[in-house]
Each structure stands twice: as structure tokens, then as C-alpha cells.
Chains A and B, each alone.
Chain A
Amino acid sequence: MSLTLEQVRRVAHLARIEISEVEAQHTLDRLNDIFVLIEAMQAVDTKGIEPMAHAQDVAQRLRADRVTESEPFAQRTAFQAIAPETEAGLYLVPKVIE
């Protein structure tokens, strides 16, 4: 299986990554190399083997249902100091309309 240039452009758009024509062709070649690798791996018989959801075979640790934040104003001030624009505690972004 191999990808088309159109599919590469679409994936780039979905990920909101801007790529030039040259980069698209280069990315296509590299992604196709990965598909070659995947094809080689698919030759292995995996019948009866349950797929893993994570590379590590361990379970999720859980946190207690407890609020751990105690200085909301100081925290917000620190976070918003590095935000491009804020107003009345809100982060400002280009207008979104639905």
C-alpha cells in the first residue's frame, strides 16, 4: 500500500500543518517508507494475540477525587502572563462563530 500526494495534503490539513509542495513530496516518500516497514511487520502471524493499547503492560493508576489546587488567582496570573491576549480573565482568540 502507498499513499497519494492528495492524502498527504489532507492529513497535513487535518493536523493544521502547513507544508509546501516540495515538503509534501518529501513527506510522501518518508511516509511510504513507513508503510513498507508496516507491511513487513504485517507478515508476522498474530492470530490469537490480543492487541495492546499501550506499549507498557501495566494498568492506569488512579488519583483520589480531591481538589489539589489552592491558589487559583496566582496560578491564573502566571498562566496569563505568557498568553498573547487576555481580558477579564479570559484568553482572547480570533473570533469564532458557529
Chain B
Amino acid sequence: MKPWEVVIGIETHAQLSTRAKIFSGSSTAFGAAPNLQANAVDIALPGVLPVLNKGAVECAIRFGLAVGAKIAERSIFARKNYFYPDLPKGYQISQYELPVVVGGSLAISVGEREKLISLTRAHLEEDAGKSLHEGAGQQLHGRSGIDLNRAGTPLLEIVSEPELRSAAEAVAYARTLHALLRWIGICDGNMQEGSFRCDANVSVRPIGQAQFGTRREIKNLNSFRFLQQAIEYEVQWQIATIEEGGRVEQATVLFDPDSGETRAMRSKEDAHDYRYFPDPDLLPLLIDRPWVEQIRSQMPELPLAKRDRLIADYGLSAYDANVLTTSLELADYYEATVAAAGKANAKTCANWVMVDLAARLNKEDREIGESPVAAEQLGALIARIGDGTISTNIGRKIFDALWNGEGSSPDEIIFRQGLQQISDSSSLEALLDELLAANPAMVAEFRAGKEKAFNALVGQAMKATRGKANPQRVSELLRKKLG
């Protein structure tokens, strides 16, 4: 059996986070009742003209800058002609010959390995409406229902070169792209609502063969898990087909999550004859350097640069830096925490954000932006642990108090509840003397060689101070007294 090489290219449709549609002033908000966000342009009444939304162009420029692509000084819009009920004009406005973003690349990591994936292009286009079918309480009299709220929603179609070599790489690419689009604020990334969907072009060839095998395109994958499963199934199907003497025919396929299989769509006659031509309703889009530079000046620090800086400036491990840069909100929260806690506590801050805070957010199904504990509060709390005012355990209690809104600053809570750690030898010694006098049995056990008794005595001291005693100081003093 010959060894096979898998070749995958991905096309992503990312819904851009504009308020209005790409060619009209209708709202793009998700979830409105049918056809309440479809105006005369969106439903293609005769005599209307599209006018391009500047915000959508800015999103495309931001993306181009983020992936180091060329922003076309001049790009044009084309009509992609096909008939479908949810496409009222009979064509989709897209870009064909001269797209707005050309080239660029995306660095992905699979396990320990990093790989740079080239991008072919990214172009602006409009989304179609939605066809709804009978069922789930919907009575449509044996017809299909058309909702045009989504028609005209701005999309950025991002096309990769066929440089991905496994389902794992494809998923890493999609995840990295997804995180980047959210990072630069051009797409909300909500996959359930269809804001980010992928088509995967998959082919196989014997290792060493120069030309590509025949590809099949898996359409509309809206979760990373489906992307992985669909590609794995498709690859195994193509290899089996060829090894059994068959041939792979070029086709568009759909993934069925229930069966875990891909199957060819009933091939529509002339389906791919889109007869693109420049849209006479739209003039060429010109983007001058000053505009690009203005947008560049508003770009956030990009994830890879931030990751490297967290490692260099704060001494974080690559793992921690990767986790903290999964989203801009998280990274910003972390940096604000460090700013309040002091750079010396940077590693402790990483632990608190990644462990304590993350667990709490996760438990209550909240995003970092919805954390009841502000970064400044968490930073101040960590500073108090760092300077020995409180122990880590008391810190956790104060964190809970802040989370529940029982105080606005850690210092206030520490003062009000008298939670300062007791490290002072004289007060601790007095306490320990009392304790030893009251527990002669334990003292005897310890002297008989039972280490357990020692721990029990420390426990008693902690209990007597409601956790405020500095446990290290208690141990030291206790050993001295018993020793």
C-alpha cells in the first residue's frame, strides 16, 4: 500500500461585525423576527442601488494588516450569478478578479510544531438569506419560507493556499484564524449563529507526487469538531476509493454529523457556471495609503507579538503566555492585573487568572468581560499576598467576597474583617504557649515521635486565628518551642 499525502485548503466565511449591512442601511443584529431587517435593497426591489459600507472595508483592511497581506489600492466588485430563492437579486455581489486583500500568512501550531500557512486572498461579499422548511410548529402550507434578514450581511471570505497536511493542521488553522478575527474585533466568531463557517477542499496524492489529486469540497462546517471529523472521514474515503481501483470525482459534499460521513450533494446542472462580471452598480473601491496607515495606528498588538512580550517581560512560560493570549480580553485583563499587582507578582497573576478566575468564570458560564472581580481588584489582592499581608488561603476568601460584591477593594475587606496575616512573633508566641498548655496529650504524642501531632498543633493555631496566622512562622516557632 502506498503512503498518501493529504492536501487541504480552507475557505472561511467570516461575518463582519458592522452595525449595518454591506450595501444597505439595514441592521445586521442577530435574531430579529423574519424580514424585519430587510429593506428595499436587501429584497432587491427594482431601481435600488447598493452603496458600500465603509465599516466593512475597514474590517477587511484590519484583517489584511493582521496577516501581513497586500491591501489592494483598487479592487472591484463582481456579480456571481445563480438562482436560489434566498438570493432575490439572482446574483451575489462578491469580488472576483481584484480582491481587497491579497496574500499574507497565518502562523499555526500543532503540538510543539509551528507552521506558516500562506493565504491566497480575502474578499468582501454579501451573505444570502435563509430558507426555512416546515416543522417545529412552522406551518408553511407545503412551501419553503424565505427570511431575508441575513441577506446583505457583510462577509469576508478568506482563502488559504492548499498547504495544510492533516485534519489536525486544518483545525489549528481554523482555530487560529477564529481567534485572530475576534482579537482584531472584526467578527464575533459565534459559530452557532453562523458568524464563522469553513469549507474544506480535500484531496490525497501518493507521497512524492507533484500534482494534486482531484479535490472534493466539504461545505459549511460550523464547528471545529465537525471540521476535524469531516476531513478525517473524507480522507479515509478518498484513499479507500483509489486503493479499490476507483476514481475521485470533483464534487461538493456535505458532512452529516449524525452518521459522521460526507456525501456528495445532488450535483446541480451548471452549478459552477457563475458567469462573474464586474457589477455595473458599483464603482471600483479605492483605498489610499493614509487610510491604511490610520487603521494600522488603531490596531491592537497582535497575539503572537503579545505572547512573545509576555514571555520576555514577565518571565512566563510559553504555555502560560499561549493560554493568556487566546483572546484579547483575557490578555488585557491579565496585563491590567499585573499593572495593579506589580511586575514581581506576574507569575502569581498568571496562576490566579488561569486557575482561580478561569474556574469561577467557567462554573458560572461567564466571559472574562463579565467578571465581577475587576483586574485592578485582583491585582491589589495579589499584591497583598505578595507582601505577606494575607495568606493565599485568606486571599481566596477575599476573592470570593469581591466576586459576591461584599466590598470594593481587597484592602477594605482585609481591614474591615481583620484578616491581616499574623506574622508577628510575640503575638504568635503567646498564642502557641496557650495552645501547648491546653493540649498536653498532643505535645506528648509529638515527643513520642508522631509527626502527625505536630501538624495537628499547627492546625489548631490556624483555627484559633481563623486562618490568619502565617503558617510558616507558626511551624518555625512551634519547632523551637518543642525542640
Contacts and interface: CB of A to CB of B under 8 A. Distances in A.
Nearest to B281: A54
Given A56-B283, A60-B284, A89 B33 contact: yes
A62 B36 contact: no
Given A14-B81, A54-B284, A59-B285, A65 B18 contact: yes
B140 A75 contact: no
Nearest to A88: B34
Contact of A14 (B18, B27, B275): B275
A90 interface: yes
Given A59-B286, A96-B144, A76 B53 contact: no
Interface stretch (B145-153, B155-163, B313-321, B395-403): B145-153
A68 B28 CA distance: 12
Given A53-B76, A68-B20, A96-B131, A90 B140 contact: yes
A98 interface: yes
Interface of A: 10, 13-14, 16, 53-56, 58-69, 72-73, 75-76, 79-80, 85, 87-98
A54 B37 CA distance: 30
Contacts of A73: 36
B43 A79 contact: yes
Contacts of B27: 67, 69
Nearest to A61: B51
B40 to A, nearest CB: 8
A88 B145 contact: yes
B244 interface: no
Given A16-B83, A63-B25, A93 B144 contact: yes
A91 B140 CA distance: 10
Given A65-B18, A73-B36, A95-B142, A90 B52 contact: no
B81 A96 contact: no
B73 to A, nearest CB: 11
A69 B26 CA distance: 6
B283 A91 contact: no
Interface stretch (B5-13, B54-62, B203-211, B327-335): B54-62
A66 B24 CA distance: 9
A72 B34 CA distance: 10
A93 B35 contact: no
B143 interface: yes
Interface string B72-102: 0000100001011100000000000010000
Contacts of A91: 35, 145-146, 148
